[in-house]
Amino acid sequence: MVDHIRPVTASVVALATETKWGQVLQTPHAYGVVEVYVPDGIARVRGVQLLTKLTHAFDTAPVSLSALVSIADEVMSEDVVSLVLLVPVGSTIYLVSRGRGCVYLKRENKLAKLLENTDSLSGTVRPEDTIIAATNGFTQALTHEEIIGVFDHLTPSEVAEKLTIRLHERNTDEGGAAALIFQATEEVVADPQNEDIREAIARTPKISRTILLTHAKAFGRRFMTVNQRVRIRKVVSDMRARNMLSRRHLLVYTIIALFIVSVILGVRKQMLSNTKTAVSEILVEAQHSFDEGMALLELNPVKGRERLTAARDLLEPVIVRKLRTEEGKKAKELYDEVASNLIRAMRVTEVTPELYFDMSLLKSGAKATDMSLFDEVIGVLDAPGKTAFTLGAASKKSDIVGGGENFAGSTQIAAYGDKLYVWTPQGIHQIRLSDQKTSASIVPASPEWGSIADMAAFGGNLYLLDTGKSRIWKYVATEQGFSTLFEYLNPDTLPDLSRATNMSIDGSVWLGTATGNILRFTAGKENSYTPQGSDTALGTLLMVHTSDEEKLVYVLDSEHHRVVVFDKDGLYISQYVWGASFSPTKIVASESTKKLFLLAEGKIYSIPLQ
């Protein structure tokens, strides 16, 4: 038998303010209270950072009072008003106080002050001793007599509840009040295997060999075949011949069986204990990541979302195991809270794209195959129908503006100013919207063209994305029409554009790809763009839209059925998610009308921008 002190704890924490924050520390190896004061208004952030440092410092238990003193001194800073640390080792307690903390000991009916301000000590605790570690905010809010008054043979949780009520009755706005109630209880640790065996033997009735064999025969007739029963009878006969079924032998067999069962139960108990410890450690780390994430959301949304994601990733393996222990329930509750706040923090909007316009309303059998947006006018191409349309981004006003045999083989359309441009293998046609006049082959076909995947207009100039030759061709607007073909990319910039999907221009040229990357070129040179902050990495098939009128970048992620929005520095803003049955192939966005337009199944759909 070995006497061992088992701690029973409870915590008292008052409401925090922007400048003062107090909290209780509880880890598998150490306990304590902290209070911070930060005039800049980020007390919660500094407090969470302090708790994180302490949690990492107590990954293993300190082996001496000097080791605990070193930890306390290492984490102290000018923001820390109170820091009290308590580490139990067997029946010995190590205590360290820094700043303006205070520690009381209640033994029997007396309450004495052990530590105050900067001090440290170690000593032996007795069963039913209660230690109160308090911050400066706590001792300022409650008097010595008020603290004594709540102790009346109550449990730590009942004491904590009474102290919390008294704190709230004070209506103090100071913040930072926190206290740890630590009670030492005696726990008798015995050898579970020997105890189980002794108890089982004590409960074992006198064994009647006749009764045992009668039940064994009945079991055999019900669950065994004739041949199996014959073999069992032979074994029993041999055991009788050797006098192996006497009462003494049966008792030995029973003890051996109980011993095996006790070993199995002991191993199971140890496994459950190890699992409980591991889950508790994960809970502490996940809780700190969650607290940090919530505190950082306003100051640094990207970092805040990263910490919330880290908390979710820590808890997911625990949730998958569906533990029915108290720790498993706490992990599930924290996971649900993290997931709920992460969805809000990530600004994920589940949408059902609404049909905005069906081109067959203008022309029987018409289907949209490409679209381009300028200002509030969408240019729409029906390649099989050899027809070009215009559609209002705000009013749905629509019209047929061009078409005919000259549009045979057309694949791309680009809108700019009062004009639409339609690419065909014979050249690029221009449609003037004011009088719907078409100028055929205003840019004649070039033998340099390979496989033209997209066309865009910017500043009056035309750009062609050539995936066959990994080039971006540029035609400069002139008084007579357009110049001859130029290469947009510098000679020393030779990217592989064979997997590019579309092109968008805001002064820089943006390309979506089928490799999961977004490419950006400025003045003919590559200008790398790295999206960051999304909870789920972008898929492989991407299309991108932006313009000089749009402040943000809109990425169609076909693999994950969503549009993800970033700013032009790559920081995540929000996302719009829909069901897998909807598969758009083109995207444009109009921030002026607050609509996102998607081309799917020959029709134009819209999503309201938040």
Reported as a pLDDT band with limits 50, 70 and 90, residue 345 is confident
- What sign for the dihedral angle of Cα 204, 209, 211, 217? positive
CA distance 383 to 399: 16
Report residue 318's pLDDT band, with 50, 70 and 90 as the boundaries. confident
| Residue 149 is assigned to a structural domain of this protein | yes
Are residues 482 and 338 located together in one domain of the fold? no
CA distance 157 to 155: 5
| Helix residue ranges, H only, 297-406 | 301-321, 326-346
Please tell me the total count of domains within the chain.
Answer: 3
Residues 121 and 220 occupy one common structural domain: no
Q: Is residue 142 part of a domain?
A: yes
Angle in degrees, CA 488, 491, 496, rounded to 5: 75
Judge if 228 and 183 occupy the same domain: no
Q: Give residue 202's pLDDT band: very low, low, confident or very high (50, 70, 90).
A: very low
Residue 462 has pLDDT above 90, yes or no: yes
Query: pLDDT tens across 207-235, in order?
Result: 444 555 565 666 666 667 767 777 777 77
pLDDT digits (tens, 9 = 90+) for 372-423: 999 999 999 999 999 999 999 999 999 999 999 999 999 999 999 999 999 9
CATH number at residue 216: 1.20.58.80
Provide the pLDDT for residue 228.
76
Q: 368 and 402, same structural domain?
A: yes
Tell me, yes or no, whether 610 lies in a domain. no
Least confident segment among 21-35, 290-304, 456-470: 290-304
Whether residues 461 and 516 fall in one domain: yes
Specify if 228 maps to a domain.
Answer: yes
314, 346, 378 — which closes off a domain?
346
User: Are residue 375 and residue 250 in the same domain, yes or no?
Assistant: no
Q: Cα–chain-centroid distance for residue 152?
A: 45
The answer on 492 and 568 residing in a single domain is yes
Query: Within a domain: residue 560?
Result: yes
pLDDT computed for residue 165 by the predictor: 82
Q: Are 580 and 493 part of one and the same domain?
A: yes
Do residues 400 and 467 both lie within one domain?
yes
pLDDT at 190 over 50: no
| pLDDT tens-digit series, residues 28-40 | 889 999 999 999 8
* 527 in the same domain as 395: yes
Residues 226, 338 within the same domain:
yes
Is 579 a residue whose pLDDT tops 70?
yes
> Counting every residue, how long is the chain?
610
C-alpha distances in Å from residue 102, one per residue of 26, 83, 401: 17, 9, 83
Structural domain ending residue among the three candidates 189, 224, 248: 189
Question: Strand 486-487 relative to strand 500-505: parallel, antiparallel, unpaired?
Answer: unpaired
Q: Please check whether residue 596 lies inside any domain of the structure.
A: yes
- Assign residue 580 the CATH number of its domain: 2.120.10.30
Residue 198 within any structural domain of the chain: yes
Instruction: State both tokens at 60.
Output: 């293993």
Instruction: Name the nearest CA neighbour of 350 among 117, 575, 52.
Output: 575
CA end-to-end distance (rounded Å), the chain: 67
Domain end, chosen from 155, 189, 223, is at 189
**Domain residue limits at 226:** 191-346
Whole-structure pTM value: 0.54
Asked if residue 402 and residue 314 are part of one domain, the reply reads: no
Stretch 264-284: mean pLDDT? 81
| Domain annotation covers residue 199 | yes
